[in-house]
Amino acid sequence: MDGDELSRLRSSVVGYYSDRLRRYGATPLGVDWTCIASQELRFLQLLKLCDFAAPFSLNDVGCGYGALVGYLARRHAEARIDYLGIDLAAAMSRRAKRLWRAYPWAAFVTGDARVRMADYSVASGIFNVKPAQPRATWERFVALTLDGLQASSRRGFAVNFKLERPDDEAPEGLYRVRPEIWIRHCERAYGAAVTLLEGYGQPEFTLLVYRRNTASRT
């Protein structure tokens, strides 16, 4: 993927989510989720990646308005987490900074997955909305983003995707896929150990991608 193509794709993503934020504010709809319950169900799956028994750093890639901070504060109040929310859309990172300014362990920046090295990275729903691009182009962007998640995660990263079904054609603008495609990619490109999570009440799946020397035994 050349620089111009990548820049156009990122501009499309930024434009889409900036518009959602203008229309719906710092709400699940503002980041294209239907409700808080479904948003937090996804957080639950993604965070199965992390060992909460010891302090760790966490990159939240495509953080939106930072809803994961509130979830962590409620569900893991005793955990010691160095959290960084990262979003391509400057409007999102600015809103998140204002919304969560009372939480000293949380910071936000505008950028991509390679902003800093962390123990873990998570990315919730960042591939679901596909701009008006060929599927092959979007999948090159997905692979490039996964490369960034892998390169910036000491222990591993977690990401979710909408599930493709044989009898269900994806609506225009929505990316759906079978798990095997990205499981194979992570195993072959990164030598990673991959755990597949599915069947948790949403038409999607989550991948927990561990570096081999830190792979989960659960």
Nearest partner of 44 among 201, 181, 209, judged by Cα? 201
Stretch 146-169: mean pLDDT, rounded? 91
Digit-coded pLDDT (tens) for 183-209: 999 999 999 999 999 999 999 999 999
Domain that holds residue 40: 3-214
The yes-or-no verdict on residue 161 having pLDDT over 60 is yes
Residue 206's pLDDT is: 98
CB atoms within 10 A of CB 109: 17
Strand partners, 177: 163
Digit-coded pLDDT (tens) for 5-48: 888 888 999 888 899 899 999 988 898 888 899 999 999 999 99
Q: 3-state DSSP call for residue 111?
A: coil
Residue 69's pLDDT is: 98
**CB contact burial 179-202 (16+ within 10 A = b; e otherwise):** beebbebbeeebebbbbebeeeee
Residue 132's pLDDT is: 85
The yes-or-no verdict on residue 110 having pLDDT over 60 is yes
Stretch 115-129: mean pLDDT, rounded? 96
Q: Can you give the pTM of this predicted structure?
A: 0.92
Nearest partner of 47 among 83, 16, 19, judged by Cα? 83
**Domains: count for the chain:** 1
The yes-or-no verdict on residue 137 having pLDDT over 50 is yes
Mean pLDDT score across all residues of the chain: 92
> Which CATH number goes with the domain that contains 143?
3.40.50.150
The yes-or-no verdict on residue 217 having pLDDT over 50 is no
Q: 3-state DSSP call for residue 62?
A: coil
CA distance 107 to 32: 22
Digit-coded pLDDT (tens) for 46-90: 999 999 999 999 999 999 999 999 999 999 999 999 999 999 999
Q: Is the dihedral of CA 94, 25, 20, 77 positive or negative?
A: positive
Contacts of 111 (CB under 8 A, 6+ apart): 86, 87, 88
Q: To which H or E segment does residue 51 belong?
A: none
134 alpha carbon, distance to own chain's centre = 22
